[in-house]
């Protein structure tokens, strides 16, 4: 959908409900609320005590899971679901989660938000032992590890498997008796627990609890595994203790502004980011204009702190489809105009502070700046609600390779020239840490994963080091 919008993209959202007679419909609503975390495809697996049911579709939840027939097929009082972002090499339906396998001991479904940094290496080993892969998803590695584990009971097999993997993951899984939720030891990706009239709910964000009217109970801790059965919920700590490294970019951009993360409102954090930005990088200007929608809370904060007027100088068209055909008599900045239009009555003759959440390749920023300029802005002072993004993410976020990141090859001044603004400023790393409630970044033991700003990756990157391994992939291909 929006794959050309020059943003980082979260690759997934997960959801689970256990003990509710409408589990399938509940999961559909939960995934709808998490749609911002992945728009390519969605899937739900339910279980009714005898049988598993699976519905997986390319496209939005609201387009594919709203027919009564679909919900009716998702029978049972427990269900897990998954939203998936459109990644480049994506291979159609067989990569849509939840993945499901019948083990010798019974059925097992898993939905995964995150990314493993040793998936290729493990896959190669599994293939040499004779495991045949059906998808190109790293989630399937987890399934084969569980299938071939020599431990006995399912939970032990899962723990055995997770101890072999590196990277970031928030998992929701479903077996015949259990729903399991788990975050990696660093807790890079979010996962929260809710309660809906006695039913247990797991979700990537609290906004998915709100839509179904569930009560927010608590976050799943980094390194925690919860095992939910008819008998209740049990909490395990199967991993070595580690300091949490939550993804700070969830606060900047990924999470929905109405979600609560680590006890803090995402909207409040983003407004504080705007305020910090106004303090660090004020501007002589007439109005503060957001690049909607992601820049809006920051712009409100900036305006409030600076006393400048907040105005909608750019109007967003929310009807967006696939790639439009570019007329051969090329239209200037057509791509950006499909989604944004300058509101010239606001901009004309004004000195504008333009607030956006981040700059990735810089392509969209350049076009938006030009559009604002064409609409009559006399000066443009761009303010970015995060530090420069210099490094790719290996933990479940779709980012361009390093060389494509504008901040990896230019100074701020060069970037200002490139996108043609009168001034450009990024939030400092410490400003960002302050906005999320820290005094400053702990350089020894950073409180967050901020590798996209700092290149300080909190796990091994085994596959990256063994890239040879990745050239031979063993896959049992499904549909043509």
Which residues are catalytic, by number? 12
Judged by CB under 8 A, which of 296, 364, 365, 389 binds its own copies? 296
Q: Which residue, 133 or 448, has its beta carbon nearer to its own copies?
A: 133
Per-residue binding letters, 128-147, with its own copies (x by CB under 8 A)? xxxxxxx--------xx--x
Q: Where are the alpha helices (DSSP H) in 253-362?
A: 266-280, 296-306, 334-337, 344-347
Q: Where are the alpha helices (DSSP H) in 182-265?
A: 207-212, 249
Judged by CB under 8 A, which of 39, 117, 244, 459 binds its own copies? 39
Number of residues that bind its own copies (CB under 8 A): 108
Q: Which residue, 212 or 228, has its beta carbon nearer to its own copies?
A: 212
Per-residue binding letters, 5-24, with its own copies (x by CB under 8 A)? ---------------xxx--
Check residue 423 for interaction with its own copies (CB under 8 A).
no
Q: Which residue, 309 or 409, has its beta carbon nearer to its own copies?
A: 309
Q: Which residue, 255 or 427, has its beta carbon nearer to its own copies?
A: 255
Site for its own copies in 172-211 (CB under 8 A): 197, 207, 210-211
Judged by CB under 8 A, which of 304, 379, 430, 456 binds its own copies? 304
Asked whether the bond before 293 is cis by omega within 30 degrees of 0, the reply is: yes
Determine the distance from the C-alpha atom of residue 96 to the mean position of all C-alpha atoms in its chain, rounded to a whole number: 16
DSSP β-bridge partners for residue 78: 18, 47
Question: How far is Cα 171 from Cα 24, in angstroms, rounded to an integer?
Answer: 18
Check residue 468 for interaction with its own copies (CB under 8 A).
no
Per-residue binding letters, 308-347, with its own copies (x by CB under 8 A)? -xxxx--x-xxxxxxxxxxxxx-xx-x--xx--xxxxxx-
Under DSSP, is residue 414 helix (H, G, I), strand (E, B) or coil? Answer: helix
CB of 78 to its own copies, least distance (A): 14
Q: Which residue, 36 or 245, has its beta carbon nearer to its own copies?
A: 36
* Helices 139-148 + 154-162 axis angle, to 10: 130
Nearest to 100 by CA among 174, 184, 16, 190: 174
Question: How far is Cα 228 from Cα 18, in angstroms, rounded to an integer?
Answer: 8
Decide: 17 and 201 in contact? Cβ < 8 Å: yes
Check residue 408 for interaction with its own copies (CB under 8 A).
no
The structure tokens listed for 312 are: 């909608």
Check residue 91 for interaction with its own copies (CB under 8 A).
no
Site for its own copies in 209-248 (CB under 8 A): 210-213
Nearest to 196 by CA among 389, 410, 26: 26
Check residue 161 for interaction with its own copies (CB under 8 A).
no
C-alpha dihedral sign at 124, 100, 1, 449: negative
Site for its own copies in 58-87 (CB under 8 A): 60-68, 71
């Amino acid at each position: 959908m929006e794959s050309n919008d020059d943003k980082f993209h979260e690759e997934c959202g997960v959801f689970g409900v256990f003990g509710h007679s409408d589990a399938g419909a509940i999961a559909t609503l939960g995934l709808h609320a998490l749609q911002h975390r992945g728009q390519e495809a969605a899937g739900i697996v339910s279980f009714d005590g005898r049988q598993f049911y699976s519905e997986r579709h390319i496209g939005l939840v609201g387009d594919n899971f709203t027919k009564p027939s679909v919900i009716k097929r998702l029978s049972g009082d427990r269900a897990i679901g998954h939203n998936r972002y459109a990644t480049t090499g994506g291979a159609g339906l067989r990569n849509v989660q939840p993945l499901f396998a019948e083990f010798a001991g019974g059925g097992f479904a898993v939905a995964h938000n995150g990314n493993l940094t040793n998936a290729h290496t493990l896959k190669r080993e599994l293939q040499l032992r004779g495991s045949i892969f059906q998808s190109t998803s790293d989630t399937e590695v987890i399934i084969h590890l569980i299938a071939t584990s020599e431990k006995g009971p399912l939970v032990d097999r899962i723990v055995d498997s997770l101890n072999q993997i590196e990277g970031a993951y928030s998992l929701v899984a479903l077996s015949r008796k259990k729903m399991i939720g788990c975050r990696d030891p660093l807790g890079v990706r979010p996962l929260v627990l809710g309660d809906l009239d006695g039913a247990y709910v797991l979700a990537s964000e609290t906004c998915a609890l709100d839509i179904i009217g569930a009560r927010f109970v608590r976050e799943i801790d980094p390194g925690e595994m919860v095992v939910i059965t008819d008998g209740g919920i049990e909490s395990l700590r199967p991993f070595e203790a580690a300091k949490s490294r939550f993804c700070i970019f969830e606060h900047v951009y990924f999470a929905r502004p109405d979600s609560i993360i680590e006890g803090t409102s995402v909207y409040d954090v983003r407004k504080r980011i705007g305020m910090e930005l106004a303090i660090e990088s004020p501007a002589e200007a007439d109005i503060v204009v957001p690049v909607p929608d992601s820049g809006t809370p920051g712009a409100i904060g900036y305006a409030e702190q600076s006393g400048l007027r907040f105005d909608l100088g750019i109007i967003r068209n929310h009807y967006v489809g696939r790639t439009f055909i570019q007329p051969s008599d090329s239209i200037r900045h057509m791509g950006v105009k499909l989604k944004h239009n300058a509101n010239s009555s606001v901009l004309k003759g004004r000195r504008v502070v333009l607030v956006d959440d981040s700059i990735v390749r810089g392509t969209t920023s350049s076009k938006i700046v030009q559009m604002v300029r064409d609409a009559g802005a006399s000066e443009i002072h761009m303010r970015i609600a995060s530090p420069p993004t210099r490094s790719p993410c290996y933990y479940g976020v779709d980012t361009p390779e390093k060389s494509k990141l504008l901040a990896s090859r230019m100074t701020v001044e060069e970037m200002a020239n490139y996108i043609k603004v009168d001034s450009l400023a990024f939030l400092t790393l410490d400003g960002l840490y302050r906005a999320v409630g820290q005094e400053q970044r702990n350089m020894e033991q950073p409180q967050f994963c901020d590798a996209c700003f700092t290149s300080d990756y909190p796990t091994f990157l085994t596959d990256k080091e063994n890239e040879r391994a990745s050239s031979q992939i063993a896959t049992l291909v499904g549909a043509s």
